[in-house]
Structure 1
Amino acid sequence: MSQARNHGVDHRPVRPFRSRVAGAGASARRRAAAQLAVGAPVLPVLVVALVVSADLAGGAGMIWLPLLVAGPALAATTNGPRGVLCVGFLAAALGVALGVRDGVPGRELTAVLSALVAVTLASGLASALRGRRERVLAAVRSVAETAQHALLRPVPSTVGPFQVAVRYSAAAAEARIGGDLYALIPTPHGVRLIVGDVRGKGLPAVGTAALVLGVFREAAHDEADLLAVVDRIERSLARNLGRDDFVTAVVAGYPREGHLEVVNCGHAPPLLVRASGAITPVDPVLPAPPLGLRDLAGHNPGLHTLSFADGDQLLLYTDGVTEARDAGRAFYPLAEGLERHISQEPSRTLGALHDELLAHVGGRLHDDAALLLIRKPAAHGPEAEAPVARGTGPDVPARMSESGCCS
């Protein structure tokens, strides 16, 4: 093993030891200077300089000297403890010099310096605590990002015959993860996808989303019938959720060329964009309860089959998009926004929609929001992106439920 590692040694001429030490010392000094420049308390020092300039210009003595504490106090918000102490030491030294110059009585100067030392020490402690909180927050963000990538796996720009784009924003901005869920995977039965919204927020919602996605990914590969995929998710949630918990979701599949299947379980209807530009909601033929509540409702969801030709697009979303309000409490008009920004590139369309959504709410969403857009490019010609996924060819028979329809 050690020999294998030695094969990567760089066989450059060896410099004399003295020159290597000198070069290493110079490099260390440059790194230290760069770090000092980045973390230098420029603004606090500037505040101290302004106080000194005002005192020199006016010669007012005790009027300006107490303002020197603003330097270390400000440094606590921008620098570490070392920077705070440096600014405090500088302010104290300049305070003594100005006090002697202006003839400030010893007792008054001592009181000012004591206050300056107290503020410097308190500011240094506050800076240390702030740095510790920032490190903890960075660790939490790192864990949240890892969990999100494991839960909401990145979706490629092309899946099977579709161009795909996804935009996701969690209401808990510091955690970057929430209760909305999405997945799009190629299977032996065609491309299948899900977009859903878990009741509630926080870690319980994340756990439920992970459960739904895990069952969906397994069932989507195993079950030839899309309704059977939904049944698998329903049974799993019935065993693991409380009586008041549920998940709204839209599950869709592309079993064969030109046909799209949609099962809506209490979720907002997807928006179908035809190649002509016409936008229509895909309302469920048979309204169904959210996942996890089927036993209470007493009926099963229906399968809606519709045509999906070249150039058609389908937008799935969560209620964090349509229920986003502006300052006047008006909801975001998703269909109108989609009509304004629709293009042949799903990523561009969702980018414009997401920017407009954030502008509508003033920059910060108050609920998790997910957008997933698929587009069927032409099978031949310049728009062709990828071959049809396994099981989506014309040899796979079309299938409709009794409640479904074909447009």
Structure 2
Amino acid sequence: MNRTSAEDDSSADSTVDEPVSWGFVECAVPGGLLSLVITWELTRPRSARDTLDARIVTCVAFVAVVAYLLARVRRAALELDEVRAVARAAQETLIRPLPSRLDGLALAARQISFSRSADVGGDLYEALVTAHGVRVVIGDVRGHGLPAIGAVAAVLGSFREAAHDESGLDGVLRRLDRAHQRHLRQRPAQGDQEHDALTAEEFVTVLLLEIGVDAEVRALNCGHPWPYRLGRDIAPLAAGEPLPPLGAVPLPTELLPWSCGPLLPGETLVLHTDGTEDARDTEGRFFGLRDALAVAALAQPPPTPATVVREVHAALLHHTGGRVTDDMALLVLRNDRALAGPG
């Protein structure tokens, strides 16, 4: 799970409800059995061959066995906590918390990981101020959890350099594609057929946005859902057919960014991964992201990006009953440049 600095007040509820701790169950069951055996040994009718000393020896032996099992459980729980802490640190290093303001834009973001063993997901996002404007990436690596970290690191690392170096979004996208291809080639060696099959299935959806000084929005989309624009109404930022995801097929020779018009003062963009709209309730109904955004947009005063993220997150968990089947990420930005100059 990742959050922005604007969301610290709601960080406590940013993870999916955890099930009852297995450590508690594994301690309670042996403890209960221990109590039953000791009670039975000390209170059952004595036989001619039975003595109190024999019963005490039996109880002590059983206590020793249970103590050993509890020590094993405790050690396993400590190791699991350590693994989670390392995974959380890795995730926060890869997907850094976004600032609440960036060059006159207000931002907020949140991620929900499908993995319960660690707060690590296959979704990625970043926003940077560059000489070419504010550049934003959001993407979704096929898969989730620890196996997706390598691809997330490759794509984000490449974006953080290319966003500053490349004058056009097409150059940025080609750098991301090359980084992803290098990641696939550097995977541990496997059988040829198995490696080819895995490589063909490991793709990344990517959406690149550039918001210029004039607030003009340009985009390149490789298999990712289009963001929603919240202004006078709620509509997708563009209606064009995206390119295939990175890694699925080679990029075309010519890459022309979409011109999406200006982001007017007060307008908001809601970027999301497909896990958000694909989330289902117990009856198989999909989550209505657009409806949730409509409810959030009616709030008075107009909601901040952090409020939109929080409201959508709460509505999604209510819809799914806290059960998620895929990683999900939201990134919301609003043009506040008319209220406060770039800085």
TM-score scaled by length of structure 2: 0.78
Instruction: Kindly report the root-mean-square deviation, in angstroms, between the aligned alpha carbons of the 2 structures.
Output: 3.1
Any conservation in 2 of the 1:332–1:360 contact (CA below 8 Å)?
yes
Query: Structure 1: which amino acid aligns with 2:132?
Result: H
Q: Structure 2 matches for 1:3-402, cutoff 5 A?
A: 77=27, 96=42, 104-105=46-47, 116-241=59-184, 242-274=199-231, 276=232, 278-285=233-240, 287-295=242-250, 300=255, 302-342=257-297, 343-377=302-336, 379-380=338-339, 384=340, 387-388=341-342
Are residues 113 and 233 of structure 1, via their aligned partners in 2, closer, same or farther at CA, if it must alter by over 3 Å?
same
Q: Deviations over 1:84-143 (max 9, x none)?
A: 6xx969x959975x67xxx75565675765664454233212211110111101110111
Distance between the aligned counterparts of 2:132 and 2:285, measured in 1? Answer: 42
> CA shift at 1:176, angstroms?
0.6
Tell me the matched-pair count.
301
- 3-state SS of 1:256 partner: coil
> CA shift at 1:375, angstroms?
0.8
Any conservation in 2 of the 1:265–1:301 contact (CA below 8 Å)?
no
Any conservation in 2 of the 1:272–1:314 contact (CA below 8 Å)?
yes
Q: Deviations over 1:212-239 (max 9, x none)?
A: 0011010101112122211211233234
> CA shift at 1:173, angstroms?
2.0
Distance between the aligned counterparts of 2:251 and 2:109, measured in 1? Answer: 33
Any conservation in 2 of the 1:195–1:249 contact (CA below 8 Å)?
yes
Any conservation in 1 of the 2:113–2:145 contact (CA below 8 Å)?
no
Any conservation in 1 of the 2:118–2:145 contact (CA below 8 Å)?
no
Query: Structure 2: which amino acid aligns with 1:251?
Result: L
> CA shift at 1:254, angstroms?
1.0
Are residues 299 and 205 of structure 1, via their aligned partners in 2, closer, same or farther at CA, if it must alter by over 3 Å?
farther
Any conservation in 2 of the 1:294–1:300 contact (CA below 8 Å)?
no
Any conservation in 2 of the 1:189–1:224 contact (CA below 8 Å)?
yes
Any conservation in 1 of the 2:170–2:255 contact (CA below 8 Å)?
no
Any conservation in 1 of the 2:104–2:337 contact (CA below 8 Å)?
no
| Structure 2: unaligned runs, 5 residues or longer | 1-23, 185-198
The equivalent of 1:27 in structure 2 is none
Distance between the aligned counterparts of 2:51 and 2:165, measured in 1? Answer: 82
Any conservation in 2 of the 1:288–1:299 contact (CA below 8 Å)?
no
Any conservation in 2 of the 1:259–1:305 contact (CA below 8 Å)?
yes
Q: Between the two structures, name the one with larger relative contact order (CA 8 Å, sep ≥ 6).
A: 2
Query: Structure 1: which amino acid aligns with 2:265?
Result: D
Query: Structure 2: which amino acid aligns with 1:132?
Result: R
> CA shift at 1:262, angstroms?
1.6
Q: Provide the identity percentage.
A: 35
Q: Deviations over 1:333-378 (max 9, x none)?
A: 1000111123421111111111111121111211111000001125
Are residues 160 and 135 of structure 1, via their aligned partners in 2, closer, same or farther at CA, if it must alter by over 3 Å?
same
Distance between the aligned counterparts of 1:297 and 1:107, measured in 2? Answer: 88
Query: Structure 2: which amino acid aligns with 1:280?
Result: A
Distance between the aligned counterparts of 1:296 and 1:152, measured in 2? Answer: 26
Are residues 127 and 163 of structure 1, via their aligned partners in 2, closer, same or farther at CA, if it must alter by over 3 Å?
same
Query: Structure 1: which amino acid aligns with 2:295?
Result: R
Any conservation in 2 of the 1:166–1:347 contact (CA below 8 Å)?
yes
Q: Deviations over 1:161-218 (max 9, x none)?
A: 1111111011112211011101111112211111100112343321011100011010
Are residues 113 and 362 of structure 1, via their aligned partners in 2, closer, same or farther at CA, if it must alter by over 3 Å?
farther
Are residues 363 and 311 of structure 1, via their aligned partners in 2, closer, same or farther at CA, if it must alter by over 3 Å?
same
Distance between the aligned counterparts of 1:280 and 1:93, measured in 2? Answer: 69
| Structure 1: unaligned runs, 5 residues or longer | 1-73, 390-407
Distance between the aligned counterparts of 1:369 and 1:264, measured in 2? Answer: 18
Distance between the aligned counterparts of 1:178 and 1:124, measured in 2? Answer: 37
- 3-state SS of 2:284 partner: coil
When you count helix as a share of all residues, which structure comes out higher? Answer: 1
Any conservation in 2 of the 1:264–1:301 contact (CA below 8 Å)?
no
Distance between the aligned counterparts of 1:287 and 1:299, measured in 2? Answer: 14
The equivalent of 1:59 in structure 2 is none
Q: Deviations over 1:236-263 (max 9, x none)?
A: 3234333332110111011122311121
